[in-house]
Amino acid sequence: MPVRPADERIRDFDEVDLGFTKTEAQAEALRCLQCKKPLCIDGCPVGINIPAFIQQIADGDILQAAATIQEENMLPAICGRVCPQENQCEKLCILGNKSTPVQIGQLERYVADYARKEGLQIPGIANQTKKRVAVVGSGPAGLTGAAELAKAGHDVTIFESLHKAGGVLTYGIPSFRLPKEIVNAEIDRVMALGVTLKCNHIVGRSVSIEELLKFDAVLLGTGAGLPYFMDLKGEHLNGVYSANEFLTRVNLMHAEQFPSYDTPVIRGSRVIVAGAGNVAMDAARTARRMGGKVTLVYRRREEDMPARAAEIEHAREEGIEFVTCANPVEVLGEVNVTGVICVRMKMCDPDDSGRPRAEPIRNEMFTLDADVFIQAIGQGPNPLLIREIDGITLGKKGNVIADASGKTSIYNVFAAGDVTTGAATVIEAMGAAKKAAQTICEMLKD
């Protein structure tokens, strides 16, 4: 995939990947073997008919390819950009055994972008059932659940606590990876199915739980927006952020354009980011675009980093420095951050996740100068609503317990996405929401 040069892209928030041309897309589509038993479909949590849409690209019928994708996925331009395809459909592509798998994600992105410009009809809607369904949260889980339920003829209302819809797609993932006009365009298509969107509505506060439970069914898609902290000395200092807060300030509140926008963010000239997942890479690359010299500190080795390989490569190209086998232990400063003390780590036997455990090496400390310290070490479900719903069963990590069909311990309350799994992926949230919507439809038939 062609990308913009690193020295150009660190000066703005425009998209890094340039996308296929029609000729490139068709050439890539022609690599597909059209397997009789296509494994790639099994690797797609929403079950897109991948060989069919690839054949339609090869035949030059791009709008038909878009219609094929839309049968299963209302957010294809988003998924084409952010899905970890290398662990999903592309991982199972048979061509990957001997060479490179078909670039299914890039083809999905190409088709979705073409269809957005050329115009693709929204899917048909079944006869109205007069059943009312409330969806809480407008991230990928909420949007997908709402779309499926609206297509089935139900009267769907999404309640969203923020002033804009999209969940992490809007407030978390930066526009240089996922442009906001693309998110907005795909949200508009979901709304065009007749879904009512109520932003600035916090269920459990401005909308009562009693009011929520008056709906015939409820789908919880409230995500995992509660950041974890390292609990370090000095964590209270000015200049310490969770990645969630830092990214929300920039993505949603346009803090990088302060004072033209109301919300500020400290623009550090020396920024330390702790963590090495997608969230850490996004925070580091955002801080870089705001002029910072950014160092990412990770307790394991580079090969253990959980972020997508492309994100790691892009971060490195953009001048982010990686300090591996090290962990922050204290934030220095009196009022503002001035530095971060780190300890060297050594790799030990694998833990339950299969990755080597990292243990601190006694007395091997070093200090990195810093004005901003961003922690990106994970996040869990926001307890605000779910802890207050009587009779709902929660797991040890505060997540809602739901079975594979989305059912919770309350008969008409369903849940999908990060609120059930903890921080996961866009497409897993969408796959779970589709299943939950199908279960709700079954229940509402009775």
Residues that bind ligand FAD (CB under 6 A): 82-84, 136-142, 159-162, 167-168, 172-173, 202-204, 221-223, 225, 247, 278-279, 282, 382, 384-385, 417-419, 423-427, 429
The option from ligand FAD, ligand SF4, none interacting with 50 (CB < 5 to 8 A, set by class) reads: ligand SF4
Between residues 7 and 313, which has the closer beta carbon with respect to ligand FAD? Answer: 313
Q: Between 68 and 138, whose beta carbon lies closer to ligand FAD?
A: 138
The 3-class secondary structure across the chain, one letter per residue, is: CCECCHHHHCCCCCCCECCCCHHHHHHHHCCCCCCCCCHHHHCCCCCCCHHHHHHHHHCCCHHHHHHHHHCCCCCHHHHHHHCCHHHCHHHHCHHHHCCCCCCHHHHHHHHHHHHHHHCCCCCCCCCCCCCEEEEECCCHHHHHHHHHHHHCCCEEEEECCCCCCCCHHHHCCCCCCCCHHHHHHHHHHHHCCCCEEECCCCECCCECHHHHCCCCEEEECCCCCEECCCCCECCCCECEEEHHHHHHHHHCCCHHHCCCCCCCCCCCCEEEEECCCHHHHHHHHHHHHCCCEEEEECCCCHHHCCCCHHHHHHHHHCCCEEECCEEEEEEEECCEEEEEEEEEEEEEEECCCCCEEEEEEEEEEEEEECCEEEECCCEECCHHHHCCCCCCCECCCCCECCCCCCECCCCCEEECCHHHHCCCCHHHHHHHHHHHHHHHHHHHHC
* Nearer residue to ligand SF4 within complex by CB, 106 or 382: 106
> 104 or 197: whose CB is closer to ligand SF4?
104
CB of 36 to ligand SF4, least distance (A): 9
Contacted by 238, from ligand SF4, ligand FAD, none: CB < 5 to 8 Å by type: none
Q: Which is nearer to ligand SF4, 101 or 339 (CB)?
A: 101
Tell the smallest beta-carbon distance from residue 196 to ligand SF4 (Å). Answer: 38
Residue 76 interface partner, choices ligand FAD, ligand SF4, none, CB cut-off 5-8 Å depending on type: none
Min dist. Cβ of residue 193 to ligand FAD (A): 17
Q: In whole angstroms, how close is the CB of 89 to ligand SF4 at the nearest point?
A: 7
Structure tokens at 23: 């000729």
Tokens of 312: 């790691």
- Minimum CB distance to ligand SF4, residue 57 (Å): 11
Q: How far is CA 57 from CA 68, 69, 75, 96, 391, in A?
A: 11, 12, 18, 20, 49
User: Minimum Å distance from CB 391 to ligand FAD?
Assistant: 17
Smallest distance from the beta carbon of 82 to ligand FAD, in angstroms? 4
Residue 426 binds which entry of ligand FAD, ligand SF4, none, with Cβ cut-offs from 5 to 8 Å by kind?
ligand FAD
Nearer to ligand FAD, 152 or 203 (CB): 203
Q: How far is the CB of 243 from ligand FAD (least distance, A)?
A: 6
Q: Which is nearer to ligand FAD, 223 or 268 (CB)?
A: 223
Of ligand FAD, ligand SF4, none, which one sits near residue 33, judging by CB under 5 to 8 A according to partner kind?
ligand SF4
User: Closest approach of Cβ 34 to ligand SF4, in Å?
Assistant: 6
Q: Residues in the site for ligand SF4, rule: CB under 6 A?
A: 32-35, 38-40, 50-51, 54, 93-95, 102, 104
Please choose which of ligand SF4, ligand FAD, none residue 161 contacts, taking the beta carbon within 5 to 8 angstroms, the exact cut-off set by kind. ligand FAD
Residue 39 structure tokens: 């494994």
E strand intervals along 145-298: 155-159, 196-198, 217-220, 226-227, 240-242, 270-274, 293-297
Nearer to ligand SF4, 58 or 158 (CB): 58
> Of 35 and 252, which CB lies nearer to ligand SF4 in the complex structure?
35
- Residue 104: which of ligand FAD, ligand SF4, none does it interact with, CB under 5 to 8 A by kind? ligand SF4
Residue 418 touches which of ligand FAD, ligand SF4, none (CB < 5 to 8 A by kind)?
ligand FAD
